[in-house]
């Protein structure tokens, strides 16, 4: 049995003395009573500089523990394959930074968090974010020679927001003493170790039972009481949900036509606008003055025409699709493949290239179509100089998301009324991400033909957190009580992954909270037990 941990980031203060203290990982391994037989080695890249330190040890007696500590974020730029392999093979990921290094934190947030999020979309791994150090509240220098305020600190709210984006557990370690290392950081880390081992043991037992299953007649079995499954992370199916929405065409509100009317492809404005500024311009979410990019405006005008007053008859779900004429016949013939690419997350570029090549069977036409796709995904004001676009480079083009449309009236087609307030939303997103709402908006219910939908049994803040998860696939409750309320809401709408996230958050917080702090809260053990049941 083994546990693999990958740690990214440098938690050391760049303005301390040259005699730097041991790292967070090194300190934990050296002080934890559960860890023994520690061995370490450096791994170097081609130019000879160390990329990460590999530690091997034993934990819980006979469990093999392998830790890769990568203090330099440049591994994502210099060796994408190695960094992705490390994340793919990890059971736990630790992201660490110094609270006194604002520039490093900003670089992490802007450049490397999007890469980590893309990789985590394909695996379910618990993430711990550790903010290390005591904040230095000195007055920053304001002279002209200081081009940036390097002494400004990373605030708690910034760290919590980062954890929210990654669905991670946030910890503040003011100093690397026994309490913060062993009881606080170590307690959370060891909890995730145990969960990982339980998950692996469960999967191993199922595989063993399957292989040892005999074909003789089995005696009748008495009905057993239902057991609670072992709590474990559930893989994200965010991209798959949106892709399934395209396949079933529920709530489609736009229809693309070829000039000879031989091709009809239905889609959803909200998904297209979340990916592309060009579609925002086409559907009047933004004006040419907002875009400030002539190439995007010219491409929209040369490629599409929205036919005024040409909405199709309402479908079964009451939606009247807007009719859009596609001027380019070659592009129109490839539109189904392009939409599948967009709805699948807009990062599988190699697969799109192969699909277009098979469709048009002409290198020049293939390049013609792909260049238009790049322009559709282009960020305004940025030059698109990518000669051979690859999946890992799509982050430079695809930097918008459904988060832009969360709790905004733009393109909204349903309004929830809750506690006297109104919350706008989009049926396509709700139908794709929640089966209960899919049945509600497509079945024989009043909500199917109503714009105003009342919501009962949950508070406005809890319902907004629930909707935010549907739009962004991330959730970071502010407290145990909020997580309990969100857990009830997730159960009510049968969103299982959100339930598991809330359960994991509650357990982690209770397990890592000092007993004195726990005693000072208003939590009731009996109330927690009732909700757990």
Percentage of the chain beyond pLDDT 70 is 80
Which DSSP symbol is given to 22? P
CA 483/CA 493 separation, integer angstroms: 15
Question: Which range is most confident: 22-36, 209-223, 271-285, 341-355?
Answer: 271-285
pLDDT confidence band for 129 (50 / 70 / 90): very high
**DSSP conformation letters of 342-374:** HHTTS--HHHHHHHHHHHH--HHHHHHHHHHHH
pLDDT confidence band for 319 (50 / 70 / 90): low
pLDDT in tens, 355-380: 999 999 999 999 999 999 988 888 77
pLDDT confidence band for 281 (50 / 70 / 90): very high
pLDDT confidence band for 528 (50 / 70 / 90): confident
Cα–Cα distance list, 311 to 220, 258, 318 (Å): 61, 16, 12
Lowest mean pLDDT segment, chosen from 35-39, 104-108, 428-432: 35-39
| 90's tokens | 């990890």
Cα–Cα distance list, 15 to 24, 413, 469, 492 (Å): 17, 53, 39, 51
Tell me what pLDDT residue 225 has. Answer: 38
Tell me what pLDDT residue 222 has. Answer: 40
**Would the pLDDT of 180 be above 90?**
no
Asked if residues 267 and 274 have their Cβ atoms less than 8 Å apart, the reply is no
Lowest mean pLDDT segment, chosen from 99-108, 164-173, 216-225: 216-225
Lowest mean pLDDT segment, chosen from 216-230, 305-319, 391-405, 458-472: 216-230
* Cα 355 to the center of its chain, rounded Å: 27
**Average pLDDT, stretch 386-401?**
46
**Would the pLDDT of 123 be above 80?**
no
**Would the pLDDT of 48 be above 70?**
no
Q: Where are the domains positioned within the chain?
A: 2-40+48-136+154-203, 237-308+319-380+391-399, 406-532
Tell me what pLDDT residue 77 has. Answer: 67
Q: Write a three-state SS string for 393-461.
A: HHHHCCCCCHHHHCCCCCCCCEEEEECCEEEEECHHHHHHHCHHHHHHHHCCCHHHHCCEEECCCCCHH
**Would the pLDDT of 144 be above 50?**
no
Q: Give the HSE-up count for residue 55: Cα atoms under 13 Å, Cβ half-sphere.
A: 25
CA 471/CA 380 separation, integer angstroms: 23
CA 511/CA 505 separation, integer angstroms: 10
Asked if residues 474 and 502 have their Cβ atoms less than 8 Å apart, the reply is no
**Would the pLDDT of 238 be above 70?**
yes
Would you put residue 231 in left (φ > 0), alpha (ψ -120 to 50) or beta?
A: beta
Tell me what pLDDT residue 213 has. Answer: 57
Tell me what pLDDT residue 394 has. Answer: 47
Check if 2-40+48-136+154-203 and 406-532 are the same fold. no
Lowest mean pLDDT segment, chosen from 133-137, 204-208, 322-326, 501-505: 204-208
Q: Which CATH architecture has domain 406-532?
A: 2-Layer Sandwich (3.30)
Tell me what pLDDT residue 317 has. Answer: 46
CATH code given to domain 237-308+319-380+391-399? 3.30.710
pLDDT in tens, 408-452: 999 999 999 999 999 999 999 999 999 999 988 887 788 888 899
Phi, psi angle pair for 241, to nearest 5°:
-60, -45
Place of tokens 């049968």: 494
Tell me what pLDDT residue 395 has. Answer: 43
CA 21/CA 98 separation, integer angstroms: 13
Would you put residue 233 in left (φ > 0), alpha (ψ -120 to 50) or beta?
A: beta
- For 2-40+48-136+154-203, give the CATH class: alpha beta
What is the helix (H) or strand (E) element at residue 191, kind and residue range? helix 186-212
- How many other CB atoms are there within 10 angstroms of residue 479's CB atom? 13
Average pLDDT, the chain: 80
Tell me what pLDDT residue 468 has. Answer: 92
pLDDT in tens, 292-316: 888 899 999 999 999 876 544 444 4
- How many other CB atoms are there within 10 angstroms of residue 49's CB atom? 11
Q: Write a three-state SS string for 256-282.
A: EEECCCCCEEEECHHHHHHHCHHHHHH
pLDDT confidence band for 20 (50 / 70 / 90): low
Helix, strand, coil percentages for the chain (3-state, nearest 5): 45, 15, 40
The residue that leads in pLDDT, 320 or 163, is 163
């Amino acid at each position: 049995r083994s546990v693999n941990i990958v740690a990214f980031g440098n938690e050391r203060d760049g303005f301390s003395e040259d005699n730097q203290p041991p790292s967070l990982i090194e300190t934990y391994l050296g002080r934890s009573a559960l860890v023994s037989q520690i061995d370490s080695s450096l791994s170097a890249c081609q130019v000879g500089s160390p990329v990460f330190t590999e530690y091997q040890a034993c934990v819980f007696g006979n469990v093999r523990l392998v830790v890769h500590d990568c203090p330099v974020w440049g591994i994502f730029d210099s060796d994408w394959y190695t960094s992705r392999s490390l994340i793919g093979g990890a059971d736990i990921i630790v992201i660490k930074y110094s609270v006194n290094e604002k520039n490093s934190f900003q670089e992490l947030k802007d450049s490397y968090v999007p890469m980590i999020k893309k990789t985590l979309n394909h695996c379910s791994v618990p993430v711990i974010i550790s903010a290390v150090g005591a904040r230095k509240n000195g007055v920053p220098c304001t002279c002209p020679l200081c081009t940036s305020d390097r002494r400004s600190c990373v605030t708690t709210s910034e760290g919590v927001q980062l954890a929210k984006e990654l669905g991670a557990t946030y910890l503040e370690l003011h100093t690397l003493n026994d309490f913060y290392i062993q009881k606080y950081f170590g307690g959370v880390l060891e909890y995730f170790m145990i969960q990982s081992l339980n998950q692996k043991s469960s999967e191993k037992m199922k595989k063993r039972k399957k292989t040892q299953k005999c074909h003789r007649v089995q005696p009748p079995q008495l009905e057993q009481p239902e057991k609670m499954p072992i709590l474990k992370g559930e893989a994200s199916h965010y991209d798959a949900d949106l892709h399934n929405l395209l396949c079933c065409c529920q709530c489609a509100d736009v229809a693309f036509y070829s000039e000879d009317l031989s091709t009809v492809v239905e889609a959803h404005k909200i998904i297209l606008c979340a990916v592309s500024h060009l579609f925002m311009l086409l559907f009047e979410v933004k004006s040419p003055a907002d875009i400030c990019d002539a190439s995007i405006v010219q491409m929209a005008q040369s490629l599409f025409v929205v036919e005024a007053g040409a909405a199709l008859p309402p479908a079964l779900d009451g939606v009247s699709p807007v009719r859009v004429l596609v001027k380019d016949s070659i592009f129109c013939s490839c539109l189904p493949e392009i939409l599948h690419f967009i709805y699948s997350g807009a990062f599988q570029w190699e697969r799109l290239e192969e699909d277009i090549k098979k469709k048009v069977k002409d290198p020049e036409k293939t390049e013609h179509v792909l260049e238009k796709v790049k322009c559709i995904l282009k960020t305004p004001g940025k030059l698109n100089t990518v000669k051979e676009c690859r999946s890992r480079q799509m982050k430079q083009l695809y930097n918008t998301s459904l988060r832009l449309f969360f709790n905004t009236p733009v393109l909204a087609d349903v309004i929830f009324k809750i506690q006297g307030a109104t919350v706008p939303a989009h049926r396509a997103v709700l139908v794709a991400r929640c089966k209960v709402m899919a049945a509600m908006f497509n079945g024989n219910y009043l909500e199917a033909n109503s714009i105003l939908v009342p919501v009962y049994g949950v508070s406005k803040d809890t319902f907004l957190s629930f909707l935010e998860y549907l739009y962004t696939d991330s959730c970071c409750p502010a407290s145990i009580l909020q997580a309990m309320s969100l857990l009830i809401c997730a159960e009510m709408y049968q969103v299982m992954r959100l339930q598991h996230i809330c359960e994991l958050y509650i357990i982690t917080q209770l397990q890592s909270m000092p007993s004195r702090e726990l005693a000072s809260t208003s939590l009731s053990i009996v109330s927690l037990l009732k909700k757990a049941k």
